[in-house]
Amino acid sequence: MKALFLVRNGKTEEAFELRDIKITEPGDNEVGVEVEAFGLNFADVMARLGLYKDCPPLPTIIGYETVGRVLKIGKNITHVKEGDRVIAFTRFGGYSQYVITQEKAVVKIDEHYDVVKALALATQYCTAFYACSVATNVLPGEKVLVQAAAGGVGTALVQLCKLKGAIIYGTAGSPSKIEYLKQQGVDFPINYNEKSIDQIPEKMDVVFDSLGGADFKKGFNLLNQGGRLVGYGAASQTEGQNIFGLLKLGIGFGIYHPVQLLMESRAIIGVNMLRIADYKPNTLQYCMEQVVALAEAGKIDPTVGGLYGIDDIGKAHSDLEKRKTIGKLGIKW
Ligand SMILES: NC(=O)c1ccc[n+]([C@@H]2O[C@H](COP(=O)([O-])OP(=O)(O)OC[C@H]3O[C@@H](n4cnc5c(N)ncnc54)[C@H](OP(=O)(O)O)[C@@H]3O)[C@@H](O)[C@H]2O)c1
């Protein structure tokens, strides 16, 4: 079997190499999955560019999720059996034809459920679910701002917060994405290349920020008393890839005093699903089961951004980096 190794940081055409891998036995509490397709996340772009602190040293296999069939199970595994179609979270290692992962990171998925939608349910919908239902509990009627709302996690947040009865403000960077946000039912779509979010006259109850830097601070300034700001990404980091850019990004986030937060009952919450996977695997499993149930009940419906062949990995990465994509991207073996 093969895996796609990240061998070099930088341009897509030089970054990846297909190499042979061996099929190894899963441990007692692990599951081995033969992969049908794996998902792309913006963190993969950051890892390729060498901007992702958690990425293992190169050469390595990146990738957070796969859909496939169980090939081997450890002796303690009872919730899935060989041949089952599953979504499997991978803590890196997803760009592969065979993955081994922890039992709590594997959930069954309907035979006929679309493969790219299934991939979206893993990292992107679980992150969104964790952010709006565990880290914060968005309530009906609350005003919610979702940054980069046409992206993978952004779409998931829009759908999950709508389900909760929130009023959604969503940002995106092009007219076609704004049109998409309208179709998704975003109440106030904002093209942030035309209007900065600090021009929004209303205060927000919850802000979901994936951009980081100065956008994070603008999000904080928009918060109502009792408001929550969830920071879960720093996509704007790709714009200044040198020490000055990083300094600007770091300073841009702003400085906050706990007394200020206490007096105004405002909260800043950081979300990193890798840490949730490492330290709270039951919570990750809960999020995954919840989003799969919502999808199978037709209450959420991930948007397919594209399913690329393995030879088009460069194009897929480049499309994601250049902000051309809407929804989820998958790569089929
Ligand atoms: N903390 C966690 O555990 C966790 C888990 C998953 C994802 N994330 C983060 O969530 C964010 C979204 O991830 P995703 O996989 O769903 O990606 P995505 O939203 O599908 O793609 C990124 C989007 O961000 C927007 N963007 C804004 N500034 C950008 C820039 N400088 N360069 C590139 N894109 C920029 C673009 O939309 P516009 O064209 O509309 O600006 C782009 O389409 C990322 O920041 C990712 O790192 C965090």
Q: What is the pLDDT of residues 92-144, one digit of tens each?
A: 999 999 999 999 999 999 999 999 999 999 999 999 999 999 999 999 999 99
| Residues written for the chain | 333
Task: Note if the bond before 59 is cis, omega within 30 degrees.
Answer: yes
Q: How far is the CA of 84 from the centre of ligand 1 (A)?
A: 32
Among 121, 108, 107, smallest CA distance to 152 is for 121
More confidently predicted of 285 and 240 = 285
Within 10 A of 6 (CB to CB), how many other CB atoms are there?
Answer: 22
Give, in degrees to the nearest 5, the angle at Cα 179 between 178 and 185.
Answer: 90
d(C-alpha 206, C-alpha 224), whole Å = 8
Tell me the per-residue pLDDT of 193-246, one tens digit each, with 9 for 90 and over. Answer: 999 999 999 999 999 999 999 999 999 999 999 999 999 999 987 776 677 778
Model confidence pLDDT, tens digit, residues 25-35: 999 999 999 99
Band (297; pLDDT cuts 50, 70, 90): very high
Q: What is the pLDDT of residues 145-187, one digit of tens each?
A: 999 999 999 999 999 999 999 999 999 999 999 999 999 999 9
Indicate the burial class of 47 (C-beta count within 10 angstroms; 0-12, 13-18, 19 or more): buried
> Distance between CA 276 and CA 281 in Å, rounded?
6
| pLDDT, average across residues 273-281 | 94
How confident is residue 24, by pLDDT bands cut at 50, 70 and 90?
very high
Q: What is the pLDDT of residue 248?
A: 84
Mean pLDDT of 237-265: 86
Assigned token pair, 146: 């979702």
Domains of the chain by start residue, with CATH:
2-108+303-332 (3.90.180.10), 123-273 (3.40.50.720)
Residue 245's pLDDT is what? Answer: 79
Candidates 38, 40, 41, 42: which one to mutate for ligand 1, based on the most atoms within 8 Å of Cβ?
A: 42
Residues with CB under 6 A from ligand 1: 41-43, 123-124, 127, 148, 150-154, 172-174, 177, 210-211, 232-233, 235-236, 238-239, 271-273, 320, 323, 325
Confidence band of 278 (pLDDT split at 50, 70, 90)? very high
pLDDT of 266 reads 97
Residue 169, pLDDT score: 98
Q: What is the mean pLDDT of the chain?
A: 96
How far is the centre of ligand 1, averaged over its atoms, from the C-alpha of 250 (Å)? 18
Residue 280 has a pLDDT of 94
The pLDDT tens digits for 138-149 are 999 999 999 999
Token code pair at residue 204: 């927000």
- Express each pLDDT in 62-81 by its tens digit: 999 999 999 999 999 999 99
Triad 286, 291, 292: Cα angle to 5°: 100
Question: Residue 296, SS3?
Answer: helix
For range 17-21, the mean pLDDT: 97
Residue 138 alpha carbon to ligand 1 centre in Å = 21
